[in-house]
Amino acid sequence: MPKIVDPVERRQAVADAVLRVAAREGLEHASLRNVAEEAGLAIGSVRHYFAGGSELMIFAMAELARRIDTRIRTRARALLDPAPDSGADTATDRRAGVERLLAEVLPLDEGRREESSLWLSFVTAARFRPELRSRAAELQTGLDELIRHVLVETDRAGGLAPGLDLAVETRRLSALLDGLTLQAVQHPDLVGPDELRAVLRRHLDSLRSP
């Protein structure tokens, strides 16, 4: 009896192969042939699920964005909707929670460093591949919305200095996170986890109410 192949699982396996090849050799080497070999499939099998390289890249980029978004939003739910008996209602608790949430965006360990490196590769490729731009914009927009929401809630709780322009502070914090991520990916020996945390903490301290 022929083996029944789940098309969702197969597409997922191919996307995973794209990300492994890209992490190891660079996104430019994630060709249909190389990805098929990585996934242990015939190239015809890959073409059965993806019409071509562009569709495959879009799907892989969407999968990477989903992983990043899921991890960050899981942390956000724990911060913004704490359990009733969690005790996370003091200014110190909220401040620590905000720092932990935003730190999820930074490449503080090997897994997040690989994710960040892959995402930067996709975003760079999107400059010349219009089909990838909407995915890049979606994750950036989602991150900016999350940052703004965190700042708004912190402000409501009296945790921000009075008179701040939250739209400007959202962009400033987003740019800080992007810059730290880029430097940590490009120069991991010079910009380590402790420094990333220290810079983020100093920035958040600068926003606090006296």
Q: Enumerate the domain spans of the chain.
A: 1-50, 61-207
Superfamily of domain 61-207: Tetracycline Repressor, domain 2 (1.10.357.10)
SS3 140: helix
Measured CA to CA, the distance from residue 132 to residue 65 in angstroms comes to 12
Q: Is the dihedral of CA 11, 14, 18, 23 positive or negative?
A: positive
Q: Are 196 and 170 in contact (CB under 8 A)?
A: no
> Which CATH fold topology does 1-50 show?
Arc Repressor Mutant, subunit A (1.10.10)
Q: Count CB atoms within 10 A of the CB of residue 165.
A: 9
pLDDT in tens, the chain (210 residues): 445 667 888 899 999 999 999 999 999 999 999 999 999 999 998 998 888 889 999 999 999 999 998 988 888 887 766 555 555 457 777 888 899 999 999 999 999 999 999 999 999 999 999 999 998 999 899 999 999 999 999 999 899 999 999 999 999 999 999 999 999 999 999 999 999 999 999 999 999 977
Q: How far is CA 141 from CA 98, 108, 177, 201, in A?
A: 19, 22, 14, 23
pTM for the predicted model, two decimal places: 0.86
Say how many residues make up the chain: 210
For 135, the token pair is: 């995915």
